DNA sequence: CGTGCTTTCG
């Protein structure tokens, strides 16, 4: 506790308070200390100083105490652009984007930081198209200049959306604007190109950098891993170590991911078990997830299960999902059922994610009665399924499709095209509808109907309708691509001579002349 | 003398 008054104690001035309060907000354990500093501010009548008020307001937003922040804001006799921006930032960070937007609209004056706060808020809340819309609005405002933070956020939004046209535009914009190309921007560029399917461009940006920090290396490594280029990821990783850069836990996640997608079991295990001895990084649950995925995918299910049972951390849904997903790939129902029992014993309330996978596992081997059972269980415990969704960018405009979409303005035309495409690839003998992964207990005909409505199929039909013959089609999907869609994409790439790049939840699939870059290992 | 924003993975 702070001692508020002692006879010999010198009274701190307003500068002291600003320093102390900002120092508090940089330390998560300093909430109480900061609050007593607030008390002293009032006692010493410094509340009317704008710098003191702003630092207090900012402190409350950093500790997610929005009532406190609001109180400081309301009681400040004068407010400037920093005051307003801090409050907007507070609401944006705690996810209340509506309130943030309302305040942003009401602010008497906005500068580059105010815009950055708003754009960052939308990116943080996963509202990437809204972030890009605000960037666009910002460009029309002559009174403000784009800064580094805005560029980084916008590139991150493009990366998440797979919006390569807009991403490239931003790259060109950086080069001709006054924004200095910083290490943050370079990292964001590498990440954007990699996540938009242009690993070649990502490499070009990376290779031109003379001094690389751990973020840039990590971006490059993770990008290669996502593209199934595990060997390249390992090679860049050893180059990084050779240059004396110490990996952080995210670098290691990236490398392990790469090993897992490329079936590099020995390399991945060796890195995992060396994390602590070599780099002093204690494996977190996500690293265990990678290891289990690596072993399970490669068919070493028992070994993967052993790792789960002996982990020093409580396994979470992600871990069980990795294990169950491997059981599905290798059609191991026995182990799948044991895992479900095991989860049920540990925590009977929260294993919804497992039931989706178990249901898929039963479906994969045609046990439709058990699929129905798992689905009933899911509705009983109220599991929410996130709807499948795919995006495609055509001429800089992002089009969004949901599974069984009926809302897109051109849905009739798209569905007609899709039927035509599916018929053509079936007739050529490259595609037989595969309904294994449809969750519903439907008739064969209905199942076929259901898979043909998957969002990535709608997106590819839209792409074939609206892009030039011979140009690649790029699609981003929120879930993992299903076996049937994977098979259809391979056939379409061959029959229509199109390169199709699909980024799903876990990696990239590049379809060319009937083959996929993942070699059907995903 | 002091205040607000940003990156790699889940």
Is A415 found in the same domain as A497? yes
Tokens at residue A456, please?
């990535």
Let me know if residue A454 belongs to a domain. Answer: yes
Among candidate residues A508, A510, A417, A517, the one with its CA nearest the CA of residue A460? A417
Q: Tell me the mean pLDDT per 10 residues along chain A, length 522.
A: 58 90 90 86 88 96 95 96 98 96 97 98 95 96 95 97 94 94 97 96 97 97 96 97 96 96 95 96 95 93 92 86 83 80 63 64 70 75 73 88 79 91 91 66 50 84 94 91 90 95 93 90 75
The distance (Å) linking the CA of A184 with the C1' of B8 is 10
Measuring from the CA of residue A93 to each C1', which nucleotide is nearest?
Answer: B5
At A514 the three-state DSSP class reads: coil
Report the protein residue whose CA lies nearest the C1' of nucleotide B7. Answer: A184
Let me know if residue A45 belongs to a domain. Answer: yes
Is A504 found in the same domain as A424? yes
Measuring from the CA of residue A16 to each C1', which nucleotide is nearest?
Answer: B2
The distance (Å) linking the CA of A215 with the C1' of B7 is 7
Is A429 found in the same domain as A347? no
Q: A104: burial class by Cβ within 10 Å (0-12, 13-18, 19+)? A: buried
Let me know if residue A50 belongs to a domain. Answer: yes
Tokens at residue A343, please?
């989860």
C-alpha–C-alpha distance, residues A257 and A49, integer Å: 51
C-alpha–C-alpha distance, residues A257 and A277, integer Å: 20
Is A375 found in the same domain as A470? no
The distance (Å) linking the CA of A489 with the C1' of B8 is 30
Measuring from the CA of residue A185 to each C1', which nucleotide is nearest?
Answer: B7
C-alpha–C-alpha distance, residues A425 and A492, integer Å: 7
Measuring from the CA of residue A113 to each C1', which nucleotide is nearest?
Answer: B5
C-alpha–C-alpha distance, residues A152 and A179, integer Å: 11
DSSP string spanning A476-508?
EESSPPPHHHHHHHHHHHHHTT--EEEE-SS-E
Domain end position, chosen among A21, A44, A78:
A78
Domain end position, chosen among A78, A96, A117:
A78
The distance (Å) linking the CA of A403 with the C1' of B8 is 31
Is A510 found in the same domain as A421? yes
> In which domain, by residue range, is A381 found?
284-385
Let me know if residue A420 belongs to a domain. Answer: yes
Task: Provide the domain count of chain A.
Answer: 3
Is A426 found in the same domain as A380? no
The distance (Å) linking the CA of A88 with the C1' of B4 is 9
The distance (Å) linking the CA of A464 with the C1' of B5 is 40
Is A414 found in the same domain as A378? no
Among candidate residues A141, A147, A116, the one with its CA nearest the CA of residue A131? A116
The distance (Å) linking the CA of A395 with the C1' of B8 is 29
The distance (Å) linking the CA of A241 with the C1' of B7 is 21
Let me know if residue A270 belongs to a domain. Answer: no
Measuring from the CA of residue A52 to each C1', which nucleotide is nearest?
Answer: B3
Domain end position, chosen among A78, A106, A122:
A78
CATH number of the domain that A349 lies in?
Answer: 1.25.40
Among candidate residues A138, A151, A237, A233, the one with its CA nearest the CA of residue A188? A151
C-alpha–C-alpha distance, residues A300 and A293, integer Å: 10
Is A381 found in the same domain as A463? no
Measuring from the CA of residue A14 to each C1', which nucleotide is nearest?
Answer: B2
Is A511 found in the same domain as A415? yes
Let me know if residue A332 belongs to a domain. Answer: yes
Let me know if residue A294 belongs to a domain. Answer: yes
Tokens at residue A154, please?
């916008």
The distance (Å) linking the CA of A47 with the C1' of B5 is 24
Is A508 found in the same domain as A416? yes
Is A466 found in the same domain as A371? no
The distance (Å) linking the CA of A314 with the C1' of B5 is 36
Listed as ranges, the nucleotides of chain B within 7 A of a protein C-beta are: 1-10
Is A298 found in the same domain as A354? yes
Measuring from the CA of residue A182 to each C1', which nucleotide is nearest?
Answer: B7
Measuring from the CA of residue A188 to each C1', which nucleotide is nearest?
Answer: B7
Let me know if residue A359 belongs to a domain. Answer: yes
Report the protein residue whose CA lies nearest the C1' of nucleotide B10. Answer: A286
């Amino acid at each position: 506790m702070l001692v508020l008054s002692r006879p010999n104690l010198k009274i701190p001035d307003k500068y002291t308070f600003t320093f102390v309060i900002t120092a508090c907000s940089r330390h998560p354990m300093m909430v109480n200390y900061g609050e007593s500093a607030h008390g002293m501010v009032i006692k010493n009548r410094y509340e009317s100083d704008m710098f003191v008020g702003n630092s207090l307001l900012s402190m409350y937003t950093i500790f997610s105490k929005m009532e406190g922040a609001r109180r400081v804001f309301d009681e400040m006799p004068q407010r400037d652009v920093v005051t307003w921006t801090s409050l907007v930032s507070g609401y944006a960070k705690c996810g209340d984007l509506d309130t943030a937007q309302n305040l942003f609209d009401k602010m008497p004056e906005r500068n580059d930081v105010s815009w950055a706060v708003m754009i960052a808020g939308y990116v943080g809340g996963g509202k990437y198209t809204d972030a890009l819309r605000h960037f666009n609005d910002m460009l029309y405002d002559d009174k403000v200049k784009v800064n580094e933070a805005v560029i980084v956020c916008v590139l991150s939004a493009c990366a998440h959306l797979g919006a390569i046209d807009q991403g490239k535009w931003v790259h060109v914009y950086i080069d001709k604007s006054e924004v200095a190309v910083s290490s943050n921007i370079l990292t964001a560029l590498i990440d954007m190109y990699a996540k938009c399917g242009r690993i070649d461009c990502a490499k070009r940006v990376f290779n031109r950098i003379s001094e690389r920090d751990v973020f840039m290396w990590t971006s490059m490594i993770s990008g290669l891993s996502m593209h199934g280029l595990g060997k390249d990821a390992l090679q860049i990783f050893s180059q990084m170590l050779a240059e004396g850069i110490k990996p952080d836990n995210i670098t290691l996640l990236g490398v392990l991911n790469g090993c897992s997608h490329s079936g590099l079991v020995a390399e991945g295990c060796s890195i995992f078990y060396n994390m602590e001895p070599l780099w002093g990084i204690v494996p977190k649950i996500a690293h265990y997830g990678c290891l289990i995925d690596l072993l399970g995918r490669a068919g070493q299910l028992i070994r993967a299960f052993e790792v789960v049972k002996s982990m020093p951390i409580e396994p979470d849904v992600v871990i069980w999902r990795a294990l169950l997903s491997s059981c599905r790939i290798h059609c191991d129902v026995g182990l799948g059922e044991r895992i479900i029992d095991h989860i049920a014993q540990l925590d009977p309330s929260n294993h919804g994610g497992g039931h989706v996978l178990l249901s898929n596992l039963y479906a994969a081997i045609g046990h439709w009665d058990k699929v129905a059972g798992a689905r009933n269980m899911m509705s009983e415990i109220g599991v929410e399924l996130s709807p499948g969704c795919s995006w495609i960018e055509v001429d800089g405009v992002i089009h969004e499709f949901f599974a069984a979409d009926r809302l897109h303005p051109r849905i009739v035309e798209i569905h007609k095209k899709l039927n035509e495409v599916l018929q053509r690839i079936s007739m050529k003998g490259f595609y037989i509808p595969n309904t294994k992964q449809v969750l519903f207990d439907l008739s064969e005909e209905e199942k076929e109907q259901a898979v043909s409505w998957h969002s990535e199929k709608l997106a590819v039909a839209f792409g074939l309708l609206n892009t030039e013959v011979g140009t690649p089609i790029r699609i981003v999907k929120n879930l993992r691509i299903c076996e049937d869609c994977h098979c259809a994409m391979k056939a379409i790439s061959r029959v229509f001579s199109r390169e199709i790049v699909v980024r799903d939840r876990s990696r990239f699939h590049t379809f060319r002349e009937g083959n996929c870059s993942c070699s059907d290992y995903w």
